[in-house]
Structure 1
Amino acid sequence: MNMPAQPRRGFSLIELVVVLAIIAVLATLALPGFRDQVLRSRRAEAREALQMLQLAQERFRSQAPRYAQRLEELGHAATSRNGLYQLRIVQADRTRYAMEAHATGAQTGDRTCRVLMLSLENGSVRATGFDDHGAERVDACWPQ
């Protein structure tokens, strides 16, 4: 008595290895791009923090004969909202100021915009950024 052949169930080892190889290739191609996009999106936190400091500086200046020289004078924290950037006032006097946001923690992997800067001089606001080698990267750090 011959028994009818039963349908094959499951996957063979070769099929599983091929699928895993395809997944590994896709992950290798997609992961660096995803990581770069996450780092770029986090730069918005630094820009937001510097713009909030800019507003605080203008409020301070409206009531004092100079711009604030310390974050404490503005009542502002030394880090950005999620702690990805360390904030500091580099220079401030009666007519100008310069403020920086330095990447910290997980954001130090952002080699393109390690430092973002916002300054006021001669009545003109200037936004810029610097990579990990100190080269200026305005378009990458402050996109229009």
Structure 2
Amino acid sequence: MLIEIEFHSGLKIGFEETLKVTKIECKGTTVSLDYGNTIINGEKIHIFGSPGQERFKFMREILSNGLNGAIVVIDNSRGVTDTDIQIMDNLNTNNIPYVVFANKQDISPGNPESEYIDSHIQIIPTIAKEGEGIQEGLEILLELVEN
């Protein structure tokens, strides 16, 4: 199963901490792409982290081939960006199930502007550097993918 995590600059540390806290086996990092895997509910999950900046759109398009699900990480201290909206629109257009991680709850608690996120999308409050909400979010996404 392939899952892509969209993240913005400054969230790479959050991804790496997430790998450690959720016991995701990290096989290494390449330039502008992170990879890890874990087992959730007996299912091996392959997780690719790609930058959310517009200049890396080509990478997201390549990674989206064969994608089973996605996690859109929103920096809650900045709110939903135009790029976040484009990413979610693309996932909706391609019928790819996804969840939104509203990250940095320690800095800016609450949910991002809900008018930019479809009402059926699960928003999971997270603090990536502490691993809070990550396991729950992955389990929710796995359930969405399996249904």
TM-score range, shorter chain: under 0.3
After TM superposition, the score normalised by the length of structure 2 is 0.28
Q: Which has the larger radius of gyration?
A: 1
Q: Going by fraction, where is helix more abundant, 1 or 2?
A: 1
Larger RCO, structure (CA 8 Å, separation 6 or more): 2
After TM superposition, the score normalised by the length of structure 1 is 0.28
